[in-house]
Amino acid sequence: MLVNLGGLTLNVLLSFAQFGREVTAERIRDNVAAAKKKGMWMGGVVPLGYRVASTIASW
Protein backbone atom coordinates (compact mmCIF):
# COMPACT_ATOMS: atom_id res chain seq x y z
CA MET A 1 0.00 0.00 0.00
CA LEU A 2 2.78 2.46 0.86
CA VAL A 3 4.58 1.80 -2.43
CA ASN A 4 1.42 2.64 -4.38
CA LEU A 5 0.91 5.79 -2.32
CA GLY A 6 4.49 6.87 -3.00
CA GLY A 7 4.01 6.31 -6.73
CA LEU A 8 0.80 8.34 -6.67
CA THR A 9 2.49 11.18 -4.80
CA LEU A 10 5.39 11.20 -7.25
CA ASN A 11 2.98 11.19 -10.20
CA VAL A 12 1.03 14.16 -8.80
CA LEU A 13 4.22 16.14 -8.12
CA LEU A 14 5.59 15.45 -11.60
CA SER A 15 2.26 16.45 -13.15
CA PHE A 16 2.38 19.82 -11.37
CA ALA A 17 5.99 20.32 -12.46
CA GLN A 18 5.08 19.59 -16.08
CA PHE A 19 2.12 21.97 -15.88
CA GLY A 20 4.39 24.70 -14.49
CA ARG A 21 6.87 24.22 -17.36
CA GLU A 22 4.07 24.40 -19.93
CA VAL A 23 2.64 27.60 -18.42
CA THR A 24 6.10 29.20 -18.36
CA ALA A 25 6.80 28.20 -21.96
CA GLU A 26 3.44 29.60 -23.09
CA ARG A 27 4.07 32.90 -21.30
CA ILE A 28 7.53 33.22 -22.86
CA ARG A 29 6.15 32.40 -26.33
CA ASP A 30 3.43 35.04 -25.96
CA ASN A 31 5.89 37.69 -24.72
CA VAL A 32 8.34 37.02 -27.57
CA ALA A 33 5.52 37.23 -30.12
CA ALA A 34 4.34 40.54 -28.63
CA ALA A 35 7.89 41.95 -28.67
CA LYS A 36 8.34 40.91 -32.31
CA LYS A 37 5.03 42.55 -33.20
CA LYS A 38 6.27 45.80 -31.61
CA GLY A 39 9.47 45.55 -33.64
CA MET A 40 11.75 45.07 -30.64
CA TRP A 41 15.20 43.59 -31.05
CA MET A 42 15.15 39.93 -30.09
CA GLY A 43 18.66 39.87 -28.69
CA GLY A 44 22.00 38.55 -29.69
CA VAL A 45 24.87 40.46 -31.23
CA VAL A 46 24.00 43.54 -33.28
CA PRO A 47 24.72 42.79 -36.97
CA LEU A 48 27.83 44.30 -38.49
CA GLY A 49 27.20 47.87 -39.63
CA TYR A 50 24.27 48.47 -37.26
CA ARG A 51 24.16 50.35 -33.97
CA VAL A 52 21.76 50.13 -31.06
CA ALA A 53 19.68 53.31 -31.29
CA SER A 54 16.96 52.85 -28.68
CA THR A 55 16.93 52.13 -24.98
CA ILE A 56 14.53 50.12 -22.88
CA ALA A 57 12.95 53.34 -21.61
CA SER A 58 11.81 54.28 -25.13
CA TRP A 59 9.99 50.98 -25.67
Model's pTM, two decimal places? 0.62
What is the domain count for the chain?
A: 1
- Between 33 and 46, the more confident residue is 33
Confidence of residue 51 (pLDDT cuts 50, 70, 90): confident
- Between 23 and 54, the more confident residue is 23
Q: Report helix, strand or coil for 59.
A: coil
Give the domain extent around 26. 2-58
